Structure 1
């Protein structure tokens, strides 16, 4: 995976495009108005509605939300929708600065939030898509977008048409696209295999946790029937209780998005729980709000050391015991759980990561098909409750068993990150002529 090993072209000229640097001397730079024409052909009711995914190009419509809270919206009037055809380039005006641009693969239509650009002859749409989704070009689209804040930015056709695009001769465009299709498919398959390995490791970890929280640490302990089929038998001196009877409060965060600042009080979202590394919140990437906004939000829910955060929207079931003293606020996608003394926070965190929760709430579809977990459902969750001393012992036992699995998962994730970074670098090098693949 050494990009430097690829051959280079004989001579280069400055591209004149920020981030692209020098390109092969026989390549051209043309403005988009010379290689595309905007189309606004009306859609048709029988056509599928498409959208641009930041990660994988144009796909069936999804309704993105910055907090990963998905909504279902009934759309009745589609008279302003635009028809798209295979090899059209479509971009979302509000998300182009994030890479929301791609090649269309099927006949369909897009909402009025999209610009549709049809390539002229002499342009290979596959090559163009790779270039437009490269970091350098995304940066150009970001700079050309108009708006005060990220979530109000728009890249209008009038600005997109003036951007420069690097164009090799058509045979080279096709050769580069074919080369990248093959290489990227190999990388994507390697990522898929590692993701499957992570899934199996996580599944193994879940099984170990389930055995611990239903059997305990004493193999010959007297057992009793829990009365619940999917729990089975538990040690005779353990109990079973609904979470609402083991807590002092279960409350979600604010239902509106406050104004974000460069500095201020941390404002946690489900994204922040999904990006935890080695058990720690990555505070540098957390949004910030004013002290006055935090004070107002704290009237609804004031978190304390030892409380538990649980993600309830978008990515369901992420848990984090609050192991820091600094103040923070949080969004509706998270809920705060204040446990009573009968339940250890870290034991609850482990229990929530067992298959017992999947079976109770989602009948096997946990964290996939359900995207909104209501507070009432959380309160009704059944918890297996050992004596508090045994809970602490089980936490240590689970940590010992999970440690090698967690290390293996971390290694696989780092390998996936390296593969994706290599893929990005390879695409960028190929579409700017830094390497010769023809």
Structure 2
């Protein structure tokens, strides 16, 4: 972490959200820095989108998470390379950025072109700071807060701190360089986390399929892909030690009762086997149309991609005696021959998930694992006391790995917090970076940086991508 000093002299900006700014900086309203671009009829240009993490980028039409019906492209607005585009309803969240190429944005977006003494990348950094986004919220208008919009007429009235064009460019280069270093750090930590997760999975796979004693004698399991198992283990199938999808009639509950029980939608079940029991529903709401389970059962996601990701859980910690959940679960009830936690680990091994993927049926995007695959899945089953020893071993080894994962995740959080604070301090003039020599960053490195930032949990703000007009 570098130590930065403030500017030698400051003046009052007159704006509470900015406070003091360097004495040689100006304070201009955005109307003196940008003009509105409202050009249509360029249907041949690529579609752009605004990401809350990475700004404006070209939309990948082939790999959209959800397909959208495109309105008449001739009505979409042109954003020239270097323009700033923002979503009127989401700029207060950071849905703003610089167009990387000539492209099209929804009619619900605002496009502004810079005047000559403006470096749009500096202002893109500024507009995405927490203090500026709060100011955007204050200038936005609407009937209800979550539908407020920042129209061009209001955007152009907003004040912005303005250093010279040379200083804007230097600030931008400095922040790009810092961002590049920060993202390399984050990328390496993510790789470490991936390796640690793989190590944890290997610990589980080895323990539940081969046991803990490497010197023990083995015997053929009779299943080629399982290979040998300890000779005192039973070669069996899940259906012989597990019952499937038990009946809710065993509860003897009144379906019209207003008693509340835990409800588990898929998003409340993690790939790590954790469950979020915060959602409760009355029996009358869930008695029909949902899957029933009770405390101590094991649930396995059956739909893609949840199955392949290993979503499932041992419901030892269910907060009600029984509950209901999404129909995209297979419910397994362990017999006395198999511990519930051991069963959960068996159904999260690489072998189980990879083989199950081959048996999935249904249309693309809606494929499911057949119950018969799970029922007939062959396993090597140790005695119950050995299962408990294996579980203790997995818990001990997993705890060490989980601590290392948590440390790496915390280091990522701290790096992100540092970078966010540094951006805010630099673009508002709280610290002076003029004397810092900045290495040049190749354009392809910046593009790789943005792609790496847009990870799986990236939130794309595409509200208003349909044909909304004002």
Give the TM-score band, short-chain normalised: 0.7 to 0.9
**Contact 2:304/2:368 (CA < 8 Å) preserved in 1?**
no
TM-score, scaled relative to structure 1: 0.77
Rg: which structure is higher?
A: 2
Deviations 1:182-235 (A, max 9, x none): 111111111111111111111111122111222123442433245353x44444
> Secondary structure in 1 aligned to 2:123?
helix
**Contact 1:97/1:141 (CA < 8 Å) preserved in 2?**
yes
Matched, 1:51 2:44: no
TM-score, scaled relative to structure 2: 0.72
Matched, 1:126 2:121: yes
Change (3 A) 1:172 1:309: farther
Change (3 A) 1:248 1:138: same
The residue that corresponds to 1:238 in the other structure is 235
Matched, 1:325 2:323: no
> Secondary structure in 2 aligned to 1:91?
strand
5 Å matches for 1:23-172? 23-42=21-40, 44-61=42-59, 70-75=65-70, 77-146=72-141, 152-172=147-167
Structure 1's unaligned 5+ residue stretches are 64-68, 251-263, 364-369
Change (3 A) 1:324 1:225: closer
Matched, 1:433 2:437: no
**Contact 2:242/2:334 (CA < 8 Å) preserved in 1?**
no
Change (3 A) 1:107 1:12: same
> Secondary structure in 2 aligned to 1:48?
coil
The residue that corresponds to 1:359 in the other structure is 354
Task: From 399, 411, 418, give the equivalent of 2:395.
Answer: 399
> Secondary structure in 1 aligned to 2:175?
helix
Task: From 8, 11, 31, give the equivalent of 1:10.
Answer: 8
The residue that corresponds to 1:175 in the other structure is 170
**Contact 2:229/2:380 (CA < 8 Å) preserved in 1?**
no
* Residues in 1 aligned to 2:179 and 2:287: alpha-carbon distance in whole angstroms: 47
Task: From 268, 285, 292, give the equivalent of 1:296.
Answer: 285
**Contact 2:271/2:310 (CA < 8 Å) preserved in 1?**
no
Task: From 204, 220, 227, give the equivalent of 2:223.
Answer: 227
Cα deviation for residue 377 of structure 1 reads: 5.2
Cα deviation for residue 426 of structure 1 reads: 0.6
* Residues in 1 aligned to 2:76 and 2:404: alpha-carbon distance in whole angstroms: 47
* Residues in 1 aligned to 2:293 and 2:404: alpha-carbon distance in whole angstroms: 32
5 Å matches for 1:407-422? 407-422=403-418
**Contact 2:314/2:341 (CA < 8 Å) preserved in 1?**
yes
* Residues in 2 aligned to 1:168 and 1:207: alpha-carbon distance in whole angstroms: 55
Cα deviation for residue 155 of structure 1 reads: 3.3
Query: Is 370-379 or 169-178 further displaced after alignment?
Result: 370-379
